[in-house]
Amino acid sequence: MELLNYHHLFFFWIIMNTGSIKAASVRLKLAQSTISTQLSAFEKTLGGKLFNRVGRNLEPTDLGHMVFGYADKIFTLGQEMMNSVHSLPAETPLSLRVGIVEVVPHLLIRKFLLPAMELSENIHLVCQQGKQDSLLSELAVHNLDVVFTDAPIRSGLSVKAYSHLLIECGITFLGHDKFLPSLKEKFPYSLDKCPMLLPMGNTALRGRLDQWFARLNILPHIIGEFDDSTLLKMFGHAGDGVFVAPQVIEEEIQQQYDVKIIGRSNEIIERFYAISIERIIKHPAIAAITKATRHGLFFLEPQFKK
C-alpha cells in the first residue's frame, strides 16, 4: 500500500486556502519553486492534475476538489486533536454530524440531542435523514459521527460499528377524536378492521406490530404505509387512520397533532439506538447523550405506563 505524503498534502491544502502558489509561499515562508516542486511530486503520486492554469490563476480540477475535501477534514481533525492534547479551548464549534433513520420520530431526536446541546462548548449540529444502510455507509467513512435508529446494526455488514441502546418503551395507539367512541372501550380487539396507518414492512416496529396483531387475531384495515414518521402522523392528524408512537412522547404527539390516546401496549417494545464506530464513545457530544441514557435523564416520567 502506498503511503500518503502528508507534507505534500499540507502544501496543496495551503495553496487551496490561500488561492495561489505565491500566497502559499508567503504563508509557509518557502520559495515558490519549492512549493511548485512539492505540488508536482504530489500530482505524480496521485496520477492526475490538481490544478489547471487559467490565465494567471489556478483552478482546481475535479480531482483537486475531491482531495481538498479530504485534506480539510484531516487537518481540521488534527487541530482538534492537538487542542485536546493540550487542553486548549477549541477555536471552532465542536461538530456533531447526525444521521437519522426516517422511522425515528423527530420529537425523540430533539430529546436525544438535548444533552449534547447543553454542553459548555459550542456545538455545530448537522442532521441528515435517510435509510439506515445509506447512513451507515456515511458513518463508515467518517462523514457522520452517529446514527439514530430503531434497530441495532445487523451482523454480517461490512461496516464495523457498535449499537448503543438509548431507550426502550411500550407503544401508544393514537387517533382523531372520531375514533374514540368505537375503539377505546374494547381496545385492543376494537382495532380489528380499524383503519390503520403503519410503518413500512421492513421496519423493526412493523414486524412486532404484525406479530402482535396475529397473536390477538386482529386484522386491521391498512390505509397507508410510511417510511417517514412525520408524514404518517400528518395523515393521523387529518383523521385518515389510527397510528402508533412511543409512549415516552405520547403527550407531545397529542399536543402537536391534536389526536387522542386510544390505548397502550407494553407487549410491543420500541427500542432506539445510537450507532457509532466507537465501542467506547469518546466524542464529547455523543458521550453526553449516552450518559443521559444511563442516568435516565431523557424522560422524567416512567417509560412504561399502564
232 shares its domain with 180: yes
Residue 164: per-residue pLDDT: 92
In the chain, alpha helices (H): 6-18, 21-28, 32-46, 62-85, 106-117, 132-140, 180-183, 204-215, 229-237, 250-257, 284-294
Q: How confident is the model at residue 185 (pLDDT cuts 50, 70, 90)?
A: confident
| For the chain, percent of residues with pLDDT exceeding 70 | 92
257 closest CA partner among 265, 268, 249: 249
**CA dihedral sign, ordered 107, 262, 247, 202:** negative
> Can you give the pLDDT at residue 306?
35
Confidence of residue 258 (pLDDT cuts 50, 70, 90): very high
- Say which residue, 35 or 303, is predicted with more confidence: 35
DSSP assigned state of 242 = B
Band (pLDDT 50/70/90 cuts) for residue 5 is confident
When divided into structural domains, the chain yields a total of 3
Distance of CA 49 to the CA centre of its chain: 35
- Which amino acid, residue 82? M
Q: What is the pLDDT of residues 148-166, one digit of tens each?
A: 999 888 877 777 889 999 9
Q: How sure is the predictor about 88, in pLDDT bands with cuts at 50, 70 and 90?
A: low
Residue with cell 404505509: 225
Backbone angles phi, psi at 219, to 5 degrees: -120, 90
pLDDT category of residue 241 using cuts at 50, 70 and 90: very high
Indicate if 63 and 81 belong to the same structural domain.
yes
Residues 289 and 140 in one domain: yes
| Rounded mean pLDDT, 239-261 | 94
Q: Poorest-confidence range of 147-156, 176-185, 244-253?
A: 147-156
The verdict on residue 10 lying in a domain is yes
CA nearest neighbour of 9 among 53, 60, 75, 56: 75
Residue span of the structural domain in which 51 resides: 6-85
pLDDT of residue 296: 63
**What's the CATH number where 284 sits?**
3.40.190.10
Per-residue pLDDT at 219: 96
Residue 290 lies in a domain: yes
| In contact, 298 and 116? CB cutoff 8 Å | no
pLDDT band at residue 89, thresholds of 50, 70 and 90?
low
Residue 211 lies in a domain: yes
pLDDT, position 147: 95
Whether residue 208 lies inside any domain: the answer is: yes
CA distances from 43 to 8, 14, 35, 56, 72 (A): 9, 15, 12, 20, 18
Residue 71 is part of a domain; what is its CATH number? Answer: 1.10.10.10
| Average pLDDT in the chain | 87
Do 151 and 276 reside in the same domain of the chain?
yes
154, 225: one domain: no
The pLDDT value given to residue 101: 92
| Confidence (pLDDT) at 275 | 94
Of the three residues 43, 68, 85, the one that is the final residue of a domain is: 85
Assigned C-alpha cell, 33:
519553486
Q: Is residue 304 part of a domain?
A: no
Helices (H), 121-246: 132-140, 180-183, 204-215, 229-237
The confidence score (pLDDT) of residue 260 equals 95
Bridge-based pairing state of the strands 146-149 and 123-130: unpaired
pLDDT tens track for 105-115: 988 998 899 99
135 lies in the same domain as 284: yes
Mean pLDDT of 58-66: 89
Q: Are residues 159 and 285 in the same domain?
A: yes
Q: Does residue 67 sit within a domain?
A: yes
pLDDT of res. 295: 64
- Say whether the peptide bond before residue 188 is cis (omega within 30 degrees of 0): yes
What value does the mean pLDDT take over residues 44-72?
Answer: 87
Has residue 301 got a pLDDT over 70?
no
Residue 306 lies in a domain: no
Q: Are residues 205 and 152 in the same domain?
A: no
Q: Judge if 103 and 221 occupy the same domain.
A: no
Q: How confident is the model at residue 72 (pLDDT cuts 50, 70, 90)?
A: confident
The Cα-based distances of 297 to 99, 247, 284 in angstroms read 22, 16, 17
Contacts for 173 with CB less than 8 Å, ≥ 6 apart: 183, 187, 188, 191, 242, 243, 244, 261, 262, 263, 264, 265
**Who wins on pLDDT, 192 or 295?**
192
Q: Are 75 and 197 part of one and the same domain?
A: no
Q: Are residues 42 and 70 in the same domain?
A: yes
Segment of 64-73, 130-139, 253-262, 277-286 carrying the highest mean pLDDT: 253-262
- What is the reported pTM? 0.64
pLDDT digits (tens, 9 = 90+) for 216-227: 999 999 999 998
Exposed/middle/buried for 31, CB within 10 Å: 0-12, 13-18, 19+?
exposed
Please check whether residues 50 and 139 belong to one and the same domain.
Answer: no
pLDDT at residue 9 tops 80: yes
Cα(first)–Cα(last) distance of the chain, in Å?
A: 60
Q: Does a structural domain hold residue 138? A: yes
